[in-house]
Chains A and B, each alone.
Chain A
Amino acid sequence: MTIIAETASRAPPAVAAKKVSDKTLWLLAPGLLWMLLFLVVPMLMMVYVSFWTQTTFKISPILTVQSWVTFFTSETYLSALWTTVRIWLIVLVTTLLVGYPAALYVGLFVRNKTTQTVLLVFCVIPFWTSFLIRVLAWRPMLGKEGAINLILQALGIINTPIEVLLFSELSVIIGMTQIYCVFMVGPIAFMMGRIDQSVIEAAQDMGAGFWRIFRTIILPLTMPGVVVGAIFVSVMVLGEFATAAALSGRKVNLLGNIIVTQVGSLKWAFAAVVGVVLTILMGIVVAALLRVVDLRKAL
């Protein structure tokens, strides 16, 4: 039965090619059209409007680079750009440091498939809660009278509450690390699971210690996972503004926050400039990460 079907399917493609491409087109057209109209056009519009003239409450289609000049000469905007890059780098490192050992344990040390799945499901469950609620949940944790300070005081580790925990850059970093580290754990654990156990066993038989095995086998083989995770985390952190809005007490202004305030005060052209800058930044970051590992070859 399958043999017949296979030979049958192998024979006619040359004949059916034209007919199929027609069908393919009809199946594909609605989706692609949707993406063109509602994704590509808005993004291009953003680039276009960034060159419009901004007056107090209105924008008019007279082309100018005034908004761009304002962006690159303003202390506020440049410092927001720097803050965005800094927080992105820090969160990238913290998610990797926090996530990698967990992925190592789940992907390589847990040999029972069921336990492995259960552990991964436990990592994903928090995603079933609203993102904003999860951000907000850090407030009662980190506050001056928050859970962490209470516990530390009860244990006698500190006498006075640590105030820097909430409404600071630190709280934004803690919150983002918790929310995004799972995007690191997933891809890395996936690559761990694909490591051939016999390679590790061979290395052990030849007397290699854990660190040596980790450095020469595990780390290189899981690099594609790290890169995929880093791309996820980067794109999400760079486009962030809610965590900073909820946990920094307006002390941390990311490019995303700037866009929100500019739109709020109807400064569309400025917002568009910031949007284009953010897009370019993201493009550079993703391209650089893809340079590290050739994903097509590695996967």
Chain B
Amino acid sequence: MNSSGTKFALGVYTSLFLVFLYAPMVVLGILSFQTGPEGGPQFPIIEWSTYWYQHLFGFTPPSRIAPLPINEALFRSLVLSVMTMIVSTVLGVSSAQAFRRKFRGSGVAFYLIVLGMMVPGVLVGLGMALVANVLGIDRHWWGTAFVLHVVYTYPFAFLVMLAILNRFDPSVEEAAWSLGVSPIRTFRKITFPLIFPGVLSAMLFAFTLSYDEFSRTLFASGRDLTLPLAIYGTFSVEVHPNVFAFGVLTTIFSFALLGVYAALMTLSIRRAKRIAIQEEA
């Protein structure tokens, strides 16, 4: 397409679009450096300071603004995300493995799995709370909320693995089998290294989705807060820049995670290439 006038106009539009996507976060980042405790969550910046960051970690003298309850919430969120990541990746890999062969009822099974990512958190959360209520089970972040997190993230892991396995050349596995290598050993030595990039992506998806998951947790976890619930708690009260500072820190954390993922990915792709070269030789 080379109508240059249209192209220019659309280019300008797209850059405005990106501004629209980023502006709120930028503003939030700037305001997190507002002075405290008297500085509010708005312009102008009275004085630049890292007061609210210190406030988050409890380094500031006590003031009328209560610190965010993030210590234990952070611990719970991390444990919950790791649990979710492990279980949903295992489930995702095994069901995607099953889908490599056509079988009767595969359509129904596929939709049942994918339903988990489509049904809104409010609905499953409410349903789970009702089940727990009727059965007389206590709701906990490590119990009722955890199983819902897996319901949400397992479809993502499954779809990622399905995409990877579709491109996967089964002849390599068959060669191992025909040479008498046991299926378990074949999986460990051949299949797994080849699908590892996919597994890594599935893990990243599951972890970040669970770490950020909120509506399911709201209904299905009991009294103990996870990080998103702690942030949600600030919605109903006056917002102070400490929430903004916290937003900046979680964003940095997410990017660090993405960095680790990228590094592991590069390594595993390099290793896969090396194996491929050895095989050819």
Contacts and interface: CB of A to CB of B under 8 A. Distances in A.
A112 to B, nearest CB: 13
11 contacts: A24-B98, A34-B147, A59-B133, A129-B247, A129-B254, A132-B232, A133-B28, A239-B215, A245-B236, A263-B126, A275-B127
Given A101-B14, A140-B28, A241-B215, A130 B228 contact: yes
Interface of A: 1-2, 5-6, 8-9, 20-21, 23-25, 27-28, 30-32, 34-46, 49, 59, 98-99, 101-102, 104-106, 108-109, 119, 122-123, 126, 128-134, 136-141, 143, 145-147, 150, 178, 181-182, 197, 200, 210, 235-236, 238-242, 245-246, 256, 259-260, 263, 268, 271-272, 275, 278-279, 282
B94 A178 contact: no
A106 B122 CA distance: 34
Q: DSSP majority for the A interface?
A: helix
B251 A128 contact: yes
Give the one of A133, A178, A235, A275 with max B CB within 10 A. A133
Contacts of A242: 214-215, 232, 235
A256 B123 CA distance: 9
A27 to B, nearest CB: 4
Given A131-B212, A136-B28, A241-B215, A126 B21 contact: yes
A49 B130 contact: yes
A80 to B, nearest CB: 13
Contacts of B41: 139-140
B258 to A, nearest CB: 6
B112 interface: yes
Interface residues of B, number: 85
A259 B134 contact: no
Interface of B: 1, 3, 6-7, 10-11, 13-14, 17-18, 20-25, 27-28, 31, 41-43, 91-92, 94-95, 97-98, 101, 103, 109, 112-113, 115-116, 118-124, 126-131, 133-134, 147-148, 150-151, 154, 158, 169-171, 174-175, 178, 208, 212, 214-215, 218-219, 227-228, 231-232, 234-236, 239, 243-244, 246-247, 250-251, 254-255, 258
Given A30-B91, A239-B123, A278-B123, A133 B231 contact: yes
